[in-house]
Structure 1
Amino acid sequence: MSDQNRSRNSADILLVEDNPGDVRLTEEAFKEGQIANTLHVTTDGVEALDFLHQRGDHEDAPRPDIVLLDLNLPRKNGDEVLDEIRADPDLERLPVVILTSSKAQEDVVQSYENQANAYLTKPVDPSEFIDVVQSFQQFWLSVVRLPPRDES
C-alpha cells in the first residue's frame, strides 16, 4: 500500500498507557471507528522506546504511524519518552499526541515545548473518553496526511 493512501486505509498506532481501563476504552473506541488500524500497546516509557527502536521483545515491531503517549508512566515518563523521540533522527518526524489525565497548564506547555503534535486530556466519564479517542481517530487518521514511513 502506498504511503499516500495509508492514512486513509490503515495505520499502526502505538498507545503508551499504563492504566488497563484506559487501554480497554481506547481499544473499544478504535473498534467502533470506521478506519482500519492496528493498535499496539506498551505500558511504560522504557517498553515504548524498545518498541520504537525494535529492541528486545519488540524486535519485529512495525514502525508506528503515530504515537498516543500518556505522561504519567512508570520507569520513564512521557516527557522523557518524547524528548528521546525528538532527539532521534530516525524518529523525530513521528507524530506524537499526548493523551493524559493531566489538565495542568505546565504539562501542556512542556509537551508543546518538547514538540508534541497535540495534547488531549482524558475525560473521566468513559463515554466522553471514547468520544475523545474517536475524534482523534477521525482527525489524525482520516484528515491529516501523515509522514511516510521510513522503511529501513
Structure 2
Amino acid sequence: MLIVDDDPNEALFLRNAFSGRAGWLDIRHAESGEAALDEIARAIPDLVLLDINMPGMDGYDVLDRIRGGKATQGLPTLMFSSSEREDDIERSYRAHANAYVVKPRSSDGYRQLAENIERFWYETARV
C-alpha cells in the first residue's frame, strides 16, 4: 500500500492502525505527488491512499497521472482527505477514484479504517 500525504503523521497513524491487523502488508509513504509517482514507477502498489491537498502536485494531479498510465490506469486509488465537501467528493469520483475516505479523527477511527480497508480491498474485492 502506498500512502501519499505531505503530513508524515498520517502515515504513522495508518502504520500503527495496520500493525496489529495486517503485519504482512508493506506500507510505503510518499510526502508529495512527485514522490508518489516515483514510488509507483519503482513498484506498483496494491492500493494507494491519496491525500488531496498537498503542495505542488495535488492529489487530483496524481490521480490523473495514475489513470493516464497504461500500467496504472486500474490501480485501486482511494482519495484520503480531511475534507467532507461535496465538491471534493464529486470531483474525486469524476476523476475515477475508486473511493473517497474522510480521515479519521481518533486512533479508534484509524483502527476501524484499517479493518475496513483490509476486509474490503484485500479480502473481498478482486483486482
Q: CA RMSD in A?
A: 1.3
Q: CA deviation at 1:129?
A: 2.5
Is 1:133 the counterpart of 2:114 in the alignment? yes
3-state SS, counterpart of residue 97 of structure 1 = strand
In the alignment, the residues of structure 2 paired with residue 19 and residue 74 of structure 1 have an alpha-carbon distance, to the nearest angstrom, of 11
Q: Which amino acid aligns with 2:17?
A: A
Task: Report percent identity of matched pairs.
Answer: 31
Q: CA deviation at 1:123?
A: 2.0
Q: CA deviation at 1:133?
A: 2.6
Correspondences of 1:41-52 after superposition (within 5 Å): 41-52=29-40
Q: Of the candidates 20, 25, 29, which is equivalent to residue 37 of structure 1?
A: 25
Q: What is aligned with 1:107?
A: 88
Is 1:20 the counterpart of 2:8 in the alignment? yes
Q: CA deviation at 1:78?
A: 0.3
Q: Quick check: 70-79 or 28-37, which moved more? A: 28-37
Unmatched 5+ stretches in structure 2? none
In the alignment, the residues of structure 1 paired with residue 53 and residue 46 of structure 2 have an alpha-carbon distance, to the nearest angstrom, of 22
3-state SS, counterpart of residue 68 of structure 1 = strand
In the alignment, the residues of structure 1 paired with residue 76 and residue 36 of structure 2 have an alpha-carbon distance, to the nearest angstrom, of 14
In the alignment, the residues of structure 1 paired with residue 101 and residue 11 of structure 2 have an alpha-carbon distance, to the nearest angstrom, of 15
Q: Which amino acid aligns with 2:29?
A: V
The runs of at least 4 consecutive aligned structure 1 residues that moved more than 2 Å come to none
Unmatched 5+ stretches in structure 1? 1-12, 55-61, 147-152
Query: TM-score when scaled to structure 1?
Result: 0.78
Asked whether the equivalents of residues 35 and 141 of structure 1 are also in contact (C-alpha less than 8 Å), the reply is no
State the Cα deviation string for residues 89-123 of structure 1 (Å, max 9, x = none).
Answer: 12101110111111010010000000000111012
Alignment length, in residue pairs?
A: 127
Q: CA deviation at 1:51?
A: 1.3
3-state SS, counterpart of residue 138 of structure 1 = helix
Q: CA deviation at 1:34?
A: 4.1
Q: Which amino acid aligns with 1:18?
A: D
In the alignment, the residues of structure 1 paired with residue 2 and residue 22 of structure 2 have an alpha-carbon distance, to the nearest angstrom, of 18
3-state SS, counterpart of residue 73 of structure 1 = coil
Higher Cα Rg, which structure:
1
Is 1:77 the counterpart of 2:65 in the alignment? no
Asked whether the equivalents of residues 71 and 78 of structure 1 are also in contact (C-alpha less than 8 Å), the reply is yes
